[in-house]
Amino acid sequence: MNYSNKLLIMFVLIGFASLGCRAHGSGPYQKPFEQSSGNLSNTTGLPVDSKPKLVSATIFPIYSIAQQIGGDNVKVTLILPSGESPHTFNPTPADKLNAENSELIFYIGGGLDEWTIEVAGTNAKLVEVNEGIKQIRYGSNPERGDHKYGANDPHYWLDPRNGKQIANTIAAEYALIDLENASSYQKRLELFSSEMDQLYEELLEHTQIIQDVPFIALHDSWSYFAEAFRLNLVGTFQPYGSHGPSPKYLKMLQDKIGNHDVKILFSEPQYPIEVLRSFADDNGLKIATIDPLGGIDGRMTFQELLTYNADTVKLSLLTKK
Q: What is the mean pLDDT of residues 17-21?
A: 36
**pLDDT higher than 60, residue 130:** yes
Per domain, the residue ranges of the chain are 53-204, 208-318
Contact 285, 258 (CB under 8 A): no
**pLDDT higher than 90, residue 188:** yes
- CA atoms of 203 and 58, how far apart (whole Å): 26
Q: Do domains 53-204 and 208-318 have the same CATH topology?
A: yes
- CA atoms of 271 and 219, how far apart (whole Å): 9
- CA atoms of 292 and 276, how far apart (whole Å): 18
The CA-atom distances, in angstroms, between 79 and each of 35, 93, 171 are: 27, 12, 20
286 phi and psi angles, rounded to 5 deg: -90, 145
The fold of the 53-204 domain, in CATH, is Rossmann fold (3.40.50)
Most confident of the following: 145-149, 213-217, 275-279:
213-217
- CA atoms of 230 and 220, how far apart (whole Å): 17
**pLDDT higher than 90, residue 299:** yes
**pLDDT higher than 90, residue 155:** yes
- CA atoms of 133 and 131, how far apart (whole Å): 6
Q: Is 264 helix (H, G, I), strand (E, B) or coil?
A: strand
Per residue in 33-80, pLDDT (tens digit) is 333 345 554 444 445 446 899 999 999 999 999 999 999 999 999 999
CA angle 161, 292, 55 (to 5 degrees): 75
Of the two residues 273 and 185, the one the predictor is more confident about is 185
Q: Is 104 helix (H, G, I), strand (E, B) or coil?
A: strand
Helix then strand count (H, E) for the chain reads: 10, 8
Q: What is the DSSP letter of 270?
A: T
**pLDDT higher than 70, residue 204:** yes
Q: pTM for the whole thing?
A: 0.81
**pLDDT higher than 70, residue 255:** yes
218: pLDDT confidence band, cut at 50, 70 and 90? confident
Q: In what order do the strands lie in the sheet with 232-238?
A: 232-238, 214-219, 264-267, 286-289
Q: Mean pLDDT in the chain?
A: 82
- CA atoms of 309 and 301, how far apart (whole Å): 13
Contact 105, 85 (CB under 8 A): no
The type of residue at 215 is F
Q: What is the pLDDT, as a whole number, of residue 50?
A: 65
The fold of the 208-318 domain, in CATH, is Rossmann fold (3.40.50)
CA angle 175, 177, 180 (to 5 degrees): 60
**Roughly how many angstroms between the first and final C-alpha of the chain, as a whole number?**
86
Residues with Cβ within 8 Å of residue 22, at least 6 apart in sequence? none
Q: What is the pLDDT, as a whole number, of residue 162?
A: 98
Q: What is the pLDDT, as a whole number, of residue 12?
A: 34
Q: What is the pLDDT, as a whole number, of residue 150?
A: 52
Centre a 10 Å sphere on the Cβ of residue 306 and count the other Cβ atoms it contains.
26
**pLDDT higher than 90, residue 320:** no
Percent of the chain with pLDDT over 90: 60
> Burial of 152 by CB count in 10 Å (0-12 exposed, 13-18 middle, 19+ buried)?
middle
Contact 238, 285 (CB under 8 A): no
